[in-house]
């Protein structure tokens, strides 16, 4: 029996919670996974999974096998890949997860540059604003915004994503003068869900002093492109991640307003699971993306 294949199927089944999902992952048919697990059970003379029609759960023995063999498999994979990479040939899969806005604007370029250096790395880049489940989705690296309290997760702080208040020149021309933050109430505002507190408060800072403004925005969106596009069209004034609008600012399509005020910056982290071995492709990409992102205008240290 191919123990490696059987264990891999078993481990993925537990992680995804379903043989069908594991089969998709492993590019096998569902019966194949079913058989592999069955073989493993015969071999250990023990029921490893509790089949429940709907889902499968590991038995006590299954949990122990998972704990023991999961890391061992990862070690083997990591060692093998590290030996291949020693030949100067970094390869293997690289599964990434990233918030949509960052992914669309910067990460895709970073991935392209990385793949140019390492053409044998097969990237799967998932963009979602939901926080990912690294285990279930089998992710190598996830970029995450905001403060994380997730235990059992290694996180490297990349920097702070700054936001600024911007508007198009046309809008500024047209609308009431924006002399002070209190006048924001009289403006059409456009924001991301994330920057507004549930009660609709935007937190700003002027120097050390923090200022809260209650907004009633004309547009709230979770999509950065939509947001920036609306700002460009002159639909209003709003907060935007600096990294999303630096080009627009440089070319005059957008103008920073109330430049004395700072919008609360969001930390950006690179996260991954503490596997025994960091596969070379993963390690290499982590370094690569970290350096690239820290150079981005709109991501600052602090």
Partner DNA sequence: TCCATCTATAACCTGTTGGCATGGTTGCTA
Partner DNA sequence: TAGCAACCATGCCAACAGGTTATAGATGGA
- CA dihedral over 8, 11, 15, 18, signed as positive or negative: positive
Chain centroid offset of residue 244 CA: 16
How far is it, in rounded angstroms, from Cα 105 to Cα 102?
A: 5
| Site membership for a copy of itself, residue 164 (CB under 8 A) | no
Q: CA dihedral in degrees (141, 147, 149, 153; nearest 10)? A: 20
Q: Which SS3 state, helix, strand or coil, does residue 142 take?
A: strand
How far is it, in rounded angstroms, from Cα 252 to Cα 113?
A: 28
Smallest distance from the beta carbon of 66 to DNA, in angstroms?
Answer: 15
CB 188, CB 175: distance < 8 Å: yes
52 binds, among a copy of itself, DNA, none (CB under 5 to 8 A by kind): DNA
* Binding footprint of a copy of itself, residue count (CB under 8 A): 29
| Site membership for a copy of itself, residue 26 (CB under 8 A) | no
User: In the stretch 227-266, what mask flags binding to a copy of itself with x, by CB under 8 A?
Assistant: ----------------------------------------
157 binds, among DNA, a copy of itself, none (CB under 5 to 8 A by kind): none
Smallest distance from the beta carbon of 22 to DNA, in angstroms?
Answer: 8
Contacts of 227 (CB under 8 A, 6+ apart): 190, 191, 192, 219, 221, 238, 240, 244
How far is it, in rounded angstroms, from Cα 21 to Cα 69?
A: 20
Smallest distance from the beta carbon of 55 to DNA, in angstroms?
Answer: 6
Q: Which is nearer to DNA, 20 or 46 (CB)?
A: 20
Q: Which is nearer to DNA, 32 or 76 (CB)?
A: 32
User: In the stretch 48-87, what mask flags binding to a copy of itself with x, by CB under 8 A?
Assistant: -------------x--xx--xx-xxx-xx-xxx-xxx-xx
CB 232, CB 251: distance < 8 Å: no
45 binds, among DNA, a copy of itself, none (CB under 5 to 8 A by kind): a copy of itself
Q: Which is nearer to a copy of itself, 4 or 210 (CB)?
A: 4
Smallest distance from the beta carbon of 8 to a copy of itself, in angstroms?
Answer: 9
Helices (H), 45-166: 60-86, 100-102, 108-117
CB 90, CB 213: distance < 8 Å: no
| Site membership for a copy of itself, residue 23 (CB under 8 A) | no
| Site membership for a copy of itself, residue 274 (CB under 8 A) | no
* Residue 196: DSSP 8-state: B
55 binds, among a copy of itself, DNA, none (CB under 5 to 8 A by kind): DNA
| Site membership for a copy of itself, residue 277 (CB under 8 A) | yes
Residues that bind a copy of itself (CB under 8 A): 2-5, 7, 43-46, 61, 64-65, 68-69, 71-73, 75-76, 78-80, 82-84, 86-87, 89, 277
């Amino acid at each position: 029996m191919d123990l490696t294949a059987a264990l891999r199927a078993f481990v993925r089944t537990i992680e995804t919670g379903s043989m069908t999902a594991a089969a998709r992952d492993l590019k096998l048919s569902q019966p194949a996974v079913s058989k592999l697990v069955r073989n493993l059970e015969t071999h250990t003379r023990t029921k490893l999974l509790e089949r429940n029609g709907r889902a499968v759960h590991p038995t006590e023995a299954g949990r122990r096998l998972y704990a023991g063999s999961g890391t061992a498999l990862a070690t083997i994979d990591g060692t093998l890949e590290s030996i291949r990479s020693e030949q100067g040939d970094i390869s293997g899969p690289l599964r990434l997860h990233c918030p949509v806005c960052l992914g669309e604007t910067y990460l895709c370029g970073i991935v392209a540059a990385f793949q140019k250096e390492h053409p044998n790395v097969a990237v799967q880049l998932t963009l979602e604003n939901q926080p990912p489940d690294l285990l279930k989705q089998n992710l190598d690296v996830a970029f995450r915004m905001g403060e994380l309290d997730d235990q059992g997760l290694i996180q490297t702080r990349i920097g702070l994503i700054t936001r600024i208040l911007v508007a198009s020149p046309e809008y500024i021309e047209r609308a009431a003068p924006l002399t002070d933050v209190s006048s924001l109430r009289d403006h059409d505002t456009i924001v991301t869900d994330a920057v507004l507190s549930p009660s609709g408060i935007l937190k700003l800072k002027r120097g050390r002093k923090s200022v809260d403004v209650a907004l009633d925005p004309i547009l709230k969106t979770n999509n950065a492109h939509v947001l920036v596009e609306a700002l460009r069209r002159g639909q209003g004034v709003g907060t935007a991640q600096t990294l999303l609008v630096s080009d627009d600012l440089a070319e005059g399509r957008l103008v920073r307003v109330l430049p004395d005020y700072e919008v609360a910056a969001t930390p950006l982290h690179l996260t991954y699971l503490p596997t025994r071995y960091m596969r070379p492709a993963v390690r290499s990409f982590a370094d690569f993306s970290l350096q690239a992102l820290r150079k981005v205008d709109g991501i600052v240290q602090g």
